[in-house]
Chain A
Amino acid sequence: MEEAGDLEISGVGSNSTINDDGGCAWTDWSPVIDWGPLSADDDFRGLVEAMMCDDNDDVAHAGVTRMAYDPYWNSNPSSTTTSTGTPPAEEPSSSDGGGGGNDDKGLRLVHLLVAAAEALAGPYKSRELARVILVRLKELVSPAGGAAGCGGGTSMERLAAYFTNALQGLLDGSSATACSRQSASHLDGQVGDVLAAFQLLQDMSPYEKFGHFTANQAILEAVARYRRVHIVDYDIAEGVQWASLMQALVSRKDGPPPPHLRITAVTQRGSGTRAVQETGRRLAAFAASLGQPFSFGQCRLEADERFRPAGVKVVKGETVVLNCVLQPPHAAGAATTRGAGSVASFLSGAATLGARVVAVVEEEGVAEDGNFVGRFMGELHRYSAVWDSLEAGFPMQGRARGLVERLILGPRIAGAVRRAYRATGEGGWGEWMARMGFGRVGISCFNHCQARLLLGLFSDGYQVEEDGPNKLVLGWKSRRLTSASIWSPPPPAPASVPPANIGVSSSMEDSDFLLD
């Protein structure tokens, strides 16, 4: 197809706009594949076609009720950073400029993204189609008008831009790998920036604190009477979680002096060891400043990323606690996501180690669909919620948000889309643990109250709810985002069994789950 060929040349891997003849080459372009089998739904087809047509086309295709997305998408305040003073309106109808309503545009972007995802991995894969859609998307989110990407454009546009990016990365396959590695190395040099952005994110949202504080409080309660506490941390990152735990330990009012705290960080072989050591030093210094007896150690994962409990030195008389925070890394150079098998082996080690309690913090709302498109949409929902939450809390601080988006959320989105592409669908770890015989340790009133108070410091839309006696879920406007759950290990089993629903077949190795 000649025209497709033209488009391809102009579209691949770059952001150049299509050389339209007078506005839209699309009308002349016949689709690579027949739309019929792609979707039985004429509405959808018509919509996508319409969306892929010139912008001037009637936008009133908002009569699409087929896709009912959450209301907050429509109520995304469509303020640009140029708006001054006035807080963004709640109603989509009061969107500024943009003609046709940014609301509609948001929907269009979503539909295009989903279409691209379908083209990439749906039942009728077509890389060409995906490529074409992505080019179109890039046009839309980087309109000639100049409001583009970070710092400009609406929330939806920016969000769509990152997802477009991520999809493009999938499309480009290995070249994207190279790109990300390059950017990673760039990021290494700007670790300070990323950390700064991370600090911003922490200050603007309760996501990280929620997980940490809930887990810490549960740990505190579990080790209340013990003199030696040993925490085995699956992903210590910068060790931020433990600062507040140490503080809580030293300020225990009733009776005993703070117990000796030992933290063992589980590390991957090779890269990152130095960072972990640095973290250990930092934690030790912090502990010293508090007067908290402390020691730090590492435990390396095996070559296959599995955790061997024998690798952990356990001192007699100490209480062991397992801590497993499975949130996406905020720093590209930090501990990358490890395979599900690795996590499973870690959790299974709880029984062997005789852990008193296991704290798990994980993302909620992980789509369990078997297909990529479902998971992709799940991630789209998730990050829309995060976007929305940041914007609702800080409507005026567009640039700060842009920073966080670029340095933290953007890479996370890319990683999430990649994982969604490769994974065969993992449920939450909670179900797995329940199946494996882990007991549920109730969340105390104190803990729950603390979570509520924490959220109360932020915007109204955050909600915490109990999901069972041992789990608190943090959500934004009824979209579940992250959860913290507390477990007690099952009776020691003869062998650790990887979860059945995670298709770690021989053809797919754990390394597939890793970031490039």
Chain B
Amino acid sequence: MFPSKKPTMNSHERPMCVQGDSGLVLTTDPKPRLRWTVELHDRFVDAVTQLGGPDKATPKTIMRVMGVQGLTLYHLKSHLQKFRLGKQPHKEINDHSIKDASALDMQRNAASSSGIMGRTMNENVHITEALSMQMEVQRRIQEQLEVQKHLQMRIEAQRKYMQTILEKACQTLAGEGMASVSYKGHGNQGVIHVGAMKDMGSPMSFPSLQDLHLYGGDDQLDMQQHMDRPLDGFFQANEGVCLGKKRFNPYSSNGKSPLICADDLRLQELGSAAACMGAQEEPSKNDQLQIASSVIGGGIDMDSITDVYETKPVLSTDGTGEKKHEGSPKLERPSPRRAPLPVERINPMIRGGTLPQTRNISYG
């Protein structure tokens, strides 16, 4: 409308125009009306922009800035009002890149047909435009939700597949006896000695895994015991879990103490760990998003995995144990009861525990 279209009056209504001394074009009919030529309008827009936008500018200031002789407050007042009305929906339409042809048509119609610039007409147009904009926004939200849904499913599929890989590797290594790893019992500071891992052929003196400690200590509990804890949600999807030699640390309530240690020389399926990495994430409320962890045998430092997967127990999808499902509706959950969506799984990686939902919705 105003900003882009030439605000003309239907010339056939006023065949005669004179240009005054001030450069303004006035019509010659009985009631001289100011003709807002393109140049004049451009100056107007410049002045308004200079003053900080149509909402901030006032006719008086505009007059001062424009410095055009013969321009009265009255002219400016009405023009400014039209400009304001015209600018609003147009701007928003641009922002959303709406290519709604009908809306544009309406704009054009509105601009050209209003010789009088009737306000009522504008209002009707605005309402229609506003509505169509609304619909557009709605449509975009729908689209985005759609994409989000698909994305979640795809992430989930990829995760499941990774599990199968890790399972296989796990089984293979278990079969081979894992000679490279020795496990030093359930001591307080279990140290994994992984000779093979010690030096990856590099002359650098990186500390070997010997220096990295397992989470040792007091909270060693039997795996079975903890199956009933929030963990079980953790494992519910993973039937083929094989316990690893190393301790793994499913998330615990205080976030620090590891829970379980392996009882014998079977490997832990890391896939389950990774899968549950965000599984039980607290929807949005906790500052520290913690995730459970487990470890694949030989050479993996417990601590490292634990660090990644430190988590507070959150969703216990099976409903047993601690259930901190805060019930905040997660928009995109097809079924919150299932293994929690992988989207959330990854969310905790966002530092600071920002709202996963917000992230999911926000558009880039």
Which residue numbers of A lie inside 8 Å of B, CB to CB? 13-15, 87, 138, 141-142, 148-152, 161, 164-165, 168, 179-180, 182-183, 186-187, 189-193, 195-197, 199-200, 202-204, 209, 212-213, 216, 238-240, 243-244, 246-248, 251, 278, 282, 285-286, 290, 392-403, 406, 410-411, 445-446, 449-450, 452-460, 464
Within 8 A of A (CB), among B320-355: 343, 345-347, 349-352
Neighbour of B295 across the interface among A179, A196, A453, CB < 8 A: A196
Let me know if A192 and B310 touch, CB within 8 A.
no
Residues of A contacting B: mostly: helix
- Proximity bits, B158-191, A CB within 8 Å = 1, else 0: 1011101110111011001000100000000000
A134 nearest CB across to chain B (Å): 9
Let me know if B202 and A179 touch, CB within 8 A.
yes
Tell me which of B57-65, B105-113, B270-278 binds A: B270-278
Let me know if B349 and A204 touch, CB within 8 A.
yes
Closest B residue by C-beta to A399: B304
Let me know if B308 and A200 touch, CB within 8 A.
yes
Let me know if B154 and A285 touch, CB within 8 A.
no
CA distance A282 to B163 in the complex (A): 11
B140 nearest CB across to chain A (Å): 9
Closest B residue by C-beta to A395: B351
Let me know if A150 and B350 touch, CB within 8 A.
no
CA distance A284 to B157 in the complex (A): 14
Nearest first, the 5 closest Cβ-Cβ pairs linking A and B are: A149-B206, A399-B304, A243-B161, A183-B201, A247-B157
Let me know if B308 and A400 touch, CB within 8 A.
yes
CA distance A371 to B270 in the complex (A): 42
Residues of chain A contacted by B180 (CB below 8 angstroms): 189-190
CA distance A392 to B352 in the complex (A): 11
Let me know if A410 and B200 touch, CB within 8 A.
yes
Let me know if B158 and A286 touch, CB within 8 A.
no
CA distance A355 to B169 in the complex (A): 35
B241 nearest CB across to chain A (Å): 14
**B129 touches A (CB below 8 Å):** no
Closest B residue by C-beta to A445: B143
Let me know if B349 and A400 touch, CB within 8 A.
no
CA distance A90 to B16 in the complex (A): 68
Name, among B164, B271, B352, the residue most crowded by chain A CB atoms within 10 Å (CB to CB). Answer: B164
**B131 touches A (CB below 8 Å):** no
**B120 touches A (CB below 8 Å):** no
B190 nearest CB across to chain A (Å): 15
CA distance A13 to B164 in the complex (A): 40
Closest B residue by C-beta to A282: B164
**B265 touches A (CB below 8 Å):** no
Residues of chain B contacted by A396 (CB below 8 angstroms): 307, 310
**B150 touches A (CB below 8 Å):** yes
Neighbour of B203 across the interface among A168, A195, A238, A459, CB < 8 A: A168
Let me know if B364 and A456 touch, CB within 8 A.
yes
CA distance A126 to B347 in the complex (A): 49
Let me know if A454 and B151 touch, CB within 8 A.
yes
Residues of chain A contacted by B346 (CB below 8 angstroms): 203, 457-458
A248 nearest CB across to chain B (Å): 6
CA distance A202 to B349 in the complex (A): 11
CA distance A174 to B196 in the complex (A): 22
Closest B residue by C-beta to A187: B200
CA distance A12 to B347 in the complex (A): 46
Let me know if B307 and A397 touch, CB within 8 A.
yes
16 further A-B pairs in the complex, CB-CB below 8 A; given A193-B197, A193-B299, A282-B165: A148-B205, A151-B212, A183-B199, A183-B201, A187-B200, A200-B305, A202-B162, A203-B308, A238-B165, A247-B154, A394-B349, A449-B147, A450-B150, A453-B151, A455-B364, A464-B364
Residues of chain B contacted by A216 (CB below 8 angstroms): 154
Residues of chain B contacted by A244 (CB below 8 angstroms): 154-155, 157-158, 161
Neighbour of B202 across the interface among A165, A199, A286, CB < 8 A: A165
Let me know if A192 and B351 touch, CB within 8 A.
no
**B15 touches A (CB below 8 Å):** no
Name, among A200, A248, A278, the residue most crowded by chain B CB atoms within 10 Å (CB to CB). Answer: A200
Residues of B contacting A: mostly: helix
A293 nearest CB across to chain B (Å): 16
Residues of chain B contacted by A243 (CB below 8 angstroms): 157-158, 160-162
A213 nearest CB across to chain B (Å): 6
Which residue numbers of B lie inside 8 Å of A, CB to CB? 143-144, 147-148, 150-151, 153-158, 160-162, 164-166, 168-170, 172-173, 176, 180, 196-197, 199-207, 211-212, 267, 270-271, 274, 277, 295-301, 303-310, 343, 345-347, 349-352, 356, 359-360, 362-364
Neighbour of A199 across the interface among B160, B207, B270, CB < 8 A: B270
Let me know if A449 and B143 touch, CB within 8 A.
yes
B145 nearest CB across to chain A (Å): 10
Let me know if A87 and B277 touch, CB within 8 A.
no
Given contacts A148-B207, A179-B202, A399-B301, contact A190 B151 (CB under 8 A): no
CA distance A402 to B306 in the complex (A): 12
CA distance A87 to B271 in the complex (A): 28
Let me know if A450 and B153 touch, CB within 8 A.
no
CA distance A148 to B206 in the complex (A): 6
Let me know if A452 and B360 touch, CB within 8 A.
no
Residues of chain A contacted by B147 (CB below 8 angstroms): 446, 449-450, 453
CA distance A406 to B169 in the complex (A): 19
Residues of chain A contacted by B345 (CB below 8 angstroms): 203
Let me know if A193 and B364 touch, CB within 8 A.
no
A67 nearest CB across to chain B (Å): 24
Let me know if A195 and B165 touch, CB within 8 A.
yes
Residues of chain A contacted by B204 (CB below 8 angstroms): 15, 138, 141-142, 149, 161, 164-165
Closest B residue by C-beta to A197: B300
Let me know if B148 and A453 touch, CB within 8 A.
yes
Residues of chain A contacted by B143 (CB below 8 angstroms): 445-446, 449
Closest A residue by C-beta to B146: A446
Neighbour of B164 across the interface among A161, A286, A410, CB < 8 A: A286
Residues of chain A contacted by B176 (CB below 8 angstroms): 189
Let me know if A192 and B164 touch, CB within 8 A.
no
Let me know if B196 and A186 touch, CB within 8 A.
yes
Residues of chain A contacted by B207 (CB below 8 angstroms): 148-152
Name, among A395, A398, A456, A464, the residue most crowded by chain B CB atoms within 10 Å (CB to CB). Answer: A456
Let me know if A452 and B307 touch, CB within 8 A.
no
Residues of chain A contacted by B160 (CB below 8 angstroms): 243, 286
Let me know if B359 and A397 touch, CB within 8 A.
no
Q: Could you name 19 residue pairs across A and B whose Cβ atoms are closer than 8 Å?
A: A13-B203, A151-B211, A165-B202, A180-B201, A189-B176, A191-B169, A200-B308, A204-B349, A239-B161, A243-B161, A244-B157, A247-B156, A248-B150, A248-B153, A398-B304, A399-B305, A400-B308, A449-B363, A456-B364
CA distance A464 to B364 in the complex (A): 8
CA distance A240 to B346 in the complex (A): 17
Residues of chain B contacted by A402 (CB below 8 angstroms): 301, 304
Let me know if B161 and A456 touch, CB within 8 A.
no
Given contacts A457-B343, A458-B349, contact A400 B274 (CB under 8 A): no
Name, among A150, A213, A240, the residue most crowded by chain B CB atoms within 10 Å (CB to CB). Answer: A150
CA distance A454 to B170 in the complex (A): 29
CA distance A286 to B162 in the complex (A): 11
Residues of chain B contacted by A189 (CB below 8 angstroms): 176, 180, 196, 298
